[in-house]
Amino acid sequence: MAQKIMVVEDEQDLRELIVKSLESAGYVTVACDNGRQVLPLLREEKPDLLLLDIMLPGVDGLQLAKQMGEDAKLSHVPTLAVSALEHSRKQLETLPQMCGFISKPFSMSALLGRIRTVLGRR
C-alpha cells in the first residue's frame, strides 16, 4: 500500500509541482491550500507524512503545528515544515511531531530524499 502524504501549500504552482513529483514517486497525495482545512483533513485522511508550509491564509503553519502537538490524535503525524521563514525553525523543532525543516527554495530531489528518509524511519 502506497504511503500517503498531505501537502499544505498556498502557492498553487508549487503545490501542483510537489503533488506531481510525489505521485510520480509512488506516493498517494492529499493537498490543501489554507490553514483552516488542515486539522479536519488530517483527521479524515490520516496521512503518513505532512508537508506544511508556514505562511498560509487562515491559520499559519506554526499555529497549526502547535495545535497538532497538543492533540493526542495528531501529535504522532510526522511533519516536515517547508518554508522561506528560516527564523521559525527553532520554534518548530521543539514540537513532538516535527521531523525537519526544508528551506525554500529547494530542489525536488532534495525534498524527495528527505521524505524517503523520514518515511523510512517509520
Dist. CA 40–CA 93, nearest whole Å: 23
- Number of structural domains the chain divides into: 1
What pLDDT is attached to residue 111?
A: 96
User: Residue 119: which H helix or E strand, with range?
Assistant: helix 108-120
What pLDDT is attached to residue 94?
A: 78
Q: 78: cis peptide before it, omega within 30°? A: no
Residue 13 burial class via C-beta count within 10 angstroms: exposed 0-12, middle 13-18, buried 19 and up: exposed
pLDDT of 90 over the 90 cut: no
CATH of the domain at 42: 3.40.50.2300
Q: Enter the C-alpha cell of residue 39.
A: 486539522
- 54-63 pLDDT, tens digit each: 999 989 998 9
Average pLDDT, the chain: 91
Print the domain residue range for 103: 4-120
Dist. CA 77–CA 98, nearest whole Å: 8
Q: Enter the C-alpha cell of residue 118.
A: 523520514
